[in-house]
Amino acid sequence: MELARRIRIPALFCAFAVLVCELIARPYTTMGVCDDGPYILIAQKLAATGHIVYNGPTTPILGWQLYLAAAFIKLFGFSFTTVRMSTLLVSMVLAFLLQRILVRANITERNATIATLALVLSPLYLMLSASFMTDITGLFAIIICLYGCLRALQSSTSSATIAWLCFAVLSNAICGTSRQIGWLGILVIVPSTLWLLRARRRVFLAGAAANLAGALFILACIHWFNHQPFNVHESLFVTSFSVGHSAGELIHSFLDAAFLIFPLMALFLPQIYKSRPRILASLSAFSVGYLLLAIHWRHSHPDFLLEPTQVNWVTAHGGLESLALNGLPPVFLHTSVQILLTIISVGGILGLIASFLRPRTTPPPVQSSTGITWPQLAILLGPFTLVYTLLLLPRAATAGLVDRYSLELLVVALICLVRYYQDQIRPRLPFATILLVAITAIYGIAVTHNLFSFYRARVAIAAELHAAGIPDTSVDSGWEYNYVVELQHADFINDPRMVLPANAYVPTPPPPAGNCPTNYYDTTPHIHAIYGISFDPNACHGPAPFTPVHYSRWLASTPGTLYVVRSIETSKP
């Protein structure tokens, strides 16, 4: 038992569970997934030249993420999959640390393991872990800083406390270079920790000095990044702001967060039936009205009330929604399944509210020698949650929120929900939660496999066209594929948001009238599409004489199919 405690078997189990699920899903392809294609090419150039050279659509710094990927390239040779496996390694370490954080937040080993698996085996986490997006590495910066701060709060000596504070600052400074939002560790979490330690003068002064050094490092990194050519700057301020639109985006994000950790939200469903009659009647009436509206609007507003509400990575079509291909992808979550998931997710929110309103006749909180109190948790996580939510507002007001932005807030929800359930309802998570986590893992494996199977089909259909003598620049294969093709003919994506070098962006002349619109036409001026890839064989100017490509879809009744369609009128050469 002592050996198991020392080597952290439950945390290791969480880490290797992520690896096993990814291996089953087989997430490999030779094209970009969402934004990561240009990022992968930056890592390739770094491995070859030793220099970071941005190429257009990059808003995150990327930083240490690039150096880790370059190390993988040096060890295993370049491929898109090799680079993405560096993110998988980070996601495994992140799963390990998350389980330890939950334990140090006074959650039992068993409960912490189940809760960790509920997040790291979710479809969102598994899909992002198999990409070279910055969401996992950015979350890692927050997690490692939070772990260091918890260890600092729970250390018995001043020297150990100072050492853990320095670790939190140093690790967050370095890991935050992948995604600027990760620096909220130094900017918010460490100051919150110092506030809790303010009575220990030596610790406070040493921690404040270390954090000041971290803040200066952040300023230096931002200054460096702002002077790099071919990157994209995003402002924290917006010129126009719609309260209604932003509120709707935040509500969507809140509802979607409940769905993304539905095995834990389901814990609170029984609390509805334990409520007082008046509360039970009110919640029941709200639930019925909510579902009726959701079903009524499922065609006109498909992403409004039925889960998943935040249309991006985890969607009713299974995987990434922003494909910008012609036609509609096949449905993965049918309406009946969406209704069931909505009942669990929204019902869990209502059950949580009901548990707050009922009289307290619950067992005493579980005690632990390394525990942390609720007031400490509130000071440690509350300011971070508030600041992170405020930073989402500019995005909510402009481009809109997507589900991957919720990862950091899901960790906060994970800690608070499981700790609250353990303290106020039952000391042990029920066995049904394990079954729901297993269902989540199956769901996550299936959609991860289906996503990459779909991308492999796009590569196959592009190869078919290339074998017929048609160059990649004559095919609209979707913006992710087009970006990589564009970077084979230019040094950067023609993004109008670029500041340096001056006048690098050149507006692209409009396409000839009657041509089928090319995705992100202005940013890829070398793409002059004659053919396009579509889910619908009759899209644009109709089918082209090429064989459709089928791709497997696990847990779906039929495989997916991609077609080649004409992007120009038949009479044109």
Does the predicted TM-score (pTM) go above 0.85? yes
* pLDDT of the residue at 147: 97
* pLDDT of the residue at 368: 47
Please calculate the CA angle 14-111-270 and round it to the nearest 5 degrees. Answer: 125
With 0-12 CB in 10 A as exposed, 13-18 as middle and 19+ as buried, what is 327? middle
* pLDDT of the residue at 270: 86
347/39 Cα distance (integer angstroms): 40
**Type and span of the H or E element at 566:** strand 560-566
Neighbouring CB atoms inside 10 A of 144's CB total 24
* pLDDT of the residue at 302: 57
* pLDDT of the residue at 359: 65
What are the tokens at 356? 């707050």
DSSP count for the chain of H helices, then E strands: 21, 4
Which positions ≥6 away from 480 have C-beta within 8 Å? 31, 32, 33, 34, 37
52/49 Cα distance (integer angstroms): 8
Amino acid at 336: S
Using alpha carbons, select from 416, 414, 286 the residue that is nearest to residue 347.
286
The DSSP letter of residue 186 is I
Backbone angles phi, psi at 533, to 5 degrees: -105, 140
Backbone angles phi, psi at 553, to 5 degrees: -135, 100
Tens of pLDDT along the chain (573 residues) come to 454 566 689 999 999 999 999 999 999 999 999 889 999 999 999 999 999 999 987 888 999 999 999 999 999 999 999 999 999 999 999 999 999 999 999 999 999 999 999 999 999 999 999 999 999 999 999 999 999 999 999 998 999 999 999 999 999 999 999 999 999 999 999 999 999 999 999 999 999 999 999 999 999 999 999 889 988 877 766 666 666 667 777 888 888 888 999 999 999 988 877 766 766 666 667 667 777 766 666 665 555 677 787 778 888 888 877 667 888 888 898 888 888 888 888 888 888 888 887 766 545 554 444 578 999 999 999 999 999 998 888 777 777 788 888 999 999 999 999 999 999 999 999 999 999 999 999 999 999 999 999 999 999 999 999 999 999 999 988 889 999 999 999 988 888 888 888 888 888 888 887 788 777 788 888 888 899 999 999 988 889 999 999 999 999 888 999 999 998 876 544
Domain locations in the chain? Answer: 2-238+370-386+408-444, 243-357, 449-566
Using alpha carbons, select from 368, 563, 552, 535 the residue that is nearest to residue 464.
563
* pLDDT of the residue at 344: 87
Question: 190 and 149 in contact (C-beta within 8 Å)?
Answer: yes
